[in-house]
Amino acid sequence: MVVDLDTCTGCEACVVACHAENNIPTAGPDEAARGRAMHWLRVERYWEGEFPDARLKFRPVLCQQCDAAPCESVCPTYASHHTDEGLNAQVYNRCIGTRYCANACPYNVRFFNFFNPQWDKPLHLQFNPDVSIREVGVMEKCTFCVQRIKAVEQTADAEQREMKDGELKPACAQSCPATAIVFGDLNDPESRVARLFESGRGEKLLEDVGAQPKIVYLKRQAEV
Amino acid sequence: MSEYADTLVADLLRPLVKTSWRFWTLVVLLLGVVSLGVGSFAYQVNTGIGVWGLNSPVFWAFDITNFVFWIGISHAGTLISAILRLVNAEWRRPVTRCAEVITVFALMIGAMFPIVHLGRPWLFFWLMPYPTERQIWPNFRSPLVWDFFAITTYLTGSSLFLYLPTIPDFALVRDKATGFRRRLYSILALGWSGTTKQWHRLESAMQIMAIAIVPVAVSVHTIVSFDFSMAPVPGWHSTIFGPYFVAGAIFSGIAALIIAMASIRKFLHLEKYLHPVHFENLGKLLLLMSLLWGYFVFAERLTTWYGNAGSEMTVFWQTQRLSFAPLYWTMVVANFIVPVTILSFKRTRTIAGCVVASFGVVLGMWLERFLIIVPALGHKYLAYSWGSYRPRTPEILLLVATFGAMVLLYVLFSKVVPIISIWEMKIGEHPKLAHEQRTRDEAQAMWRTQP
Amino acid sequence: MTAMYALFDRPEAAQRAYTGLKRAGVATRDITVISGEPFEAFEFSHRDHSMILFRLALLGGIVGFASAVLLVRGTELAWPLVTGGMPIVAWWPNLVIIFEMTMLGAIVTTVISLLATSGLPSFRRSMYDPAVSDGKILVGVPVAAGGASDAIKEALSTGAIAVKTADF
């Protein structure tokens, strides 16, 4: 996945889409004030400089699906582990809620169900049937919309072809009006992701922590 | 000789024989305190961890502080008892059992927290390695699984280390008891008679256990420290944590031991057996551990400050100058300044002085655990997600209940088992009954048999 | 068995009785000495020493070690899951588990061996007198149906507080 920080406007459509797609509950004002909002994908906002030269920077941060994920080795029950496809899987049924993975994650992208999730009516009617509802005491995080990955893989298998570039879009990539989030197969040199990768603006977040994150952030043109 | 032994037995069995209304009042009070904690836990299991003050990113606070604190307290007992046995320090004789008791109960309390802090505590048994229907086992790479193995081994080892030398004392009580208590102590004594063969085997077993329990004790708190040092959190990912935590554990454990010994000396009237010299010796050990603790803290802080890495310095200033500074400097005063001042001078190294220093250390060590966990978690790498923490009532009740539980278990134990090892004291009175006569004065000079 | 025993209130007296019994021809293993505390300095204690507990503890440690290696290696290979980029069989973390289980094996074996070699828990009646808990030392021998020999009676009664014969 490549996130273009130059085109991102900070509109947070991706955040809303992620909530809708993955049945993420809203915490409510009280719980959010306690620091328990669960945004699998959040748009970080930083101010730079002093007025009148103040600049606003946005950065969407989501699970980086690290290759050497610190969250995986500390989970006592293998609820957090690496799949063959290179995703960091979170197995809700196996999670006993030690919260060690959340502490180990350098990006703070893991969230805990402090209570049983609640939805105000009529929102309880709009769940995505492909995504399970997590109960109290379970950790959750961005899965790169694994349900969509599985669906597209199965369709491609059934039709006996490879996946097309751009066929698979996680909810965030799909909803971004500025196409700042691009998802695809890095191994395919023709894909949009690979081409953006080569653009020379790319860098990874917190690379020197050593978690080997997969997401490439493209720096704003002014900084290159 | 037998006169001393008779007084000894009478004094040490008195708590088992006589019970006053003060005992029952204390037990009822403590049961009340403990039930508050149990109620708090039940509420949390029913409603969710959300009733605590945890949030994103501070996912551990009081729960893990209490865990590390109680496991730390557990280190004095068996370690002191084992090491003093191994170096044949005679002054250990009245101290060993009350120390070993602290270990076992502190471990039991500390070991509850890996269960209590879980989001889904009813599934805690998934931490145990057993063949499952799903054919999945625990992840042995996780420090939490190491915790399970280490604590199980240490709890088993220290319970047995406590139980084995009580067998001869249970036999003694069995012989003097009647009725249902005679049956109870007969079972506990396992039919011990005291043949030379049984004594030799018991002493061999104690020797082996003492040798084995020391590395286990060191490993347990090292593994607990690995819960922190294995995560790439600024302020946690430090190689010093293993030895630092072990030193801190022994430190807090000796403080707890001094408090416990002073309490039983006062409330069970054991002034004849727990002499000021015992507190002096432990006070010197406490002083040594305080200096060692200060050394570790200084080395860690200086290295961090020289390193000047961005994220580590953020956490550093949180405790040095910013929001956690009041707690941090309280900790330094309680752990270092007060104990070193009181314990460095013979005039202040009295029983009262040692107890005051010990209370300071217990407070300081709890704060130390808290200050390792919360400031670091609240200030990780991405500034947008920094957070803070405030405890809520359920967590505070749980903390208070653990202290209540410790005192309750200790009080109940000393009501049922002689808190000072009778047979070991008997040996101490006449350790070398050679064929020539030894005068009482010589024995006193060597083994301090009288206050 | 029928036994005759004497109670002494000083270990020197018990030692004299013990020596007397040996001179009267009683085998060492037939003499029972029971006390409420061990008297290492006396010759009557210089028996029944054995290194068996140490050897068994070592064996227990080895068994613990082997079980731990089997457990960690076997389970990690049975369902190989990659975590944190670490190898499937990660030796450094496994060493922690192996250490703990080795020590646990040694500790548990020690206790079981102690109980087994001491004859504990004991449900059968053996030679004993509750006066031992008052600090008395018991020295006794099993006697044949015809009664004890005079030499035995003499050895036991010298310096004794009480001499008893009882069935156990």
Mean predicted lDDT score pLDDT of chain B: 91
> pLDDT tens digits, residue range B378-431?
999 999 999 999 999 999 999 999 999 999 999 999 999 999 999 998 888 764
Specify if B171 maps to a domain.
no
Confirm whether the ipTM is greater than 0.90: yes
C44, C97, C117 member nearest B201 (Cβ): C117
- Res A134 pLDDT > 70: yes
Overall average pLDDT of the B142-157 stretch: 95
In a domain, B176, yes or no: no
Predicted local confidence at residue B439, as pLDDT: 57
The secondary element (H helix, E strand) that includes residue A193 is helix A192-197
Q: What is the 3-state secondary structure (H, E, C) of chain B?
A: CHHHHHHHHHHHHHHHHCCCHHHHHHHHHHHHHHHHHHHHHHHHHHHCHHHCCCCCCCCCCHHHHHHHHHHHHHHHHHHHHHHHHHCCCHHHCCCHHHHHHHHHHHHHHHHHHHHHCCCCHHHHHHHCCCCCCCCCCCCCCCHHHHHHHHHHHHHHHHHHHHHCCHHHHHHHHHHHCCHHHHHHHHHHHCCCCCEHHHHHHHHHHHHHHHHHHHHHHHHHHHHHHHHHHCCCCCCCCCCCHHHHHHHHHHHHHHHHHHHHHHHHHHHCCCCCCCCHHHHHHHHHHHHHHHHHHHHHHHHHHHHHHHHCCHHHHHHHHHHHCCCCHHHHHHHHHHHHHHHHHHHHCCCCCCHHHHHHHHHHHHHHHHHHHHHHHHHHHHCCCCHHHCCCCCCCHHHHHHHHHHHHHHHHHHHHHHHHCCCCCHHHHHHHHCCCCCCCCCCHHHHHHHHCCCC
Q: How many domains does chain B have?
A: 1
**Domain that includes residue B98, residue range:** 2-121+137-162+211-447
Domain edges within chain C? 2-37+135-167, 52-118
- Confidence (pLDDT) at C96: 95
In a domain, B190, yes or no: no
C85 contacts in A (CB within 8 Å)?
67-69, 72, 82, 212
A47–B contact, CB cutoff 8 A: no
Would you say residue B323 lies in a domain?
A: yes
CA distance B296 to B248: 9
How far is residue A44's CA from residue B40's CA, in Å, rounded to a whole number?
36
Provide the 8-state DSSP code for A114.
S
Note the pLDDT of residue B433: 45
Residue B168 is assigned to a structural domain of this protein: no
Query: Rounded to a whole number, what is the distance in Å from the CA of B406 to chain A's nearest CA?
Result: 25
Mean pLDDT of B258-284: 92
Percent of chain A at pLDDT above 70? 99
Is residue B435 scored above 90 in pLDDT? Answer: no
Report the pLDDT value the prediction gives residue C44, as an integer from 0 to 100: 86
What's the whole-number mean pLDDT along residues A10-33? 93
List, for residues B202-245, the tens digit of each pLDDT value: 999 999 999 999 999 999 999 999 999 999 999 999 999 999 99
Tell me the pLDDT tens digit for each residue of A12-21.
999 999 999 9
- Please give the Cα distance from B142 to B150 (Å, whole number): 13
Chain C residues whose beta carbon lies within 8 Å of the beta carbon of residue B204: 50-51, 53-54, 114
* Record: contact C86-A73, CB cut-off 8 A: yes
Summarised one tens digit per residue, pLDDT across range A94-118 is: 999 999 999 999 999 999 999 999 8
Q: What is the CATH number of domain C2-37+135-167?
A: 3.30.70
pLDDT at B438 over 90: no
pLDDT, average across residues A170-186? 91
Please give the share of chain A, as a percent, with pLDDT higher than 90: 69
H helices of chain C, where? 11-23, 52-78, 91-118, 150-157
Nearest-CA distance C138 → chain B (Å)? 9
Q: For the whole model, what pTM was predicted?
A: 0.93
| Contacts A75 to C, Cβ<8 Å | 83
> Tens of pLDDT along B176-186?
998 999 999 99
Instruction: Convert the pLDDT of each residue in C118-161 to its tens digit.
Output: 988 887 888 888 889 888 999 999 887 777 788 888 888 888 88
Is B195 a member of any domain?
Answer: no
CATH 1.10.10.10 given to domain A2-223: no
How large is the angle between the packed helices B62-86 and B96-116, nearest 10 degrees? 150
Long-range contacts of A41-45 (CB under 8 A, 24+ apart): A41/A14, A41/A15, A41/A142, A41/A172, A42/A15, A42/B384, A43/A8, A43/A10, A43/A12, A43/A14, A43/A15, A44/B382, A44/B384, A44/B385, A45/A10, A45/B384
Encoded tokens for A197: 């990768």
User: For A79-83, A215-219, B375-379, B432-436, which range has the lowest pLDDT when averaged over its residues?
Assistant: B432-436
Q: Which residues of A touch B49 (CB under 8 A)?
A: 97, 112, 114, 136-137
Report pLDDT for C126. 86
Which tens digit of pLDDT belongs to each residue from B61-114?
A: 999 999 999 999 999 887 788 998 898 888 888 999 999 999 999 999 999 999
What is the model's pLDDT at position B187? 92
Looking at the domain assignment, is residue B403 inside a domain? yes
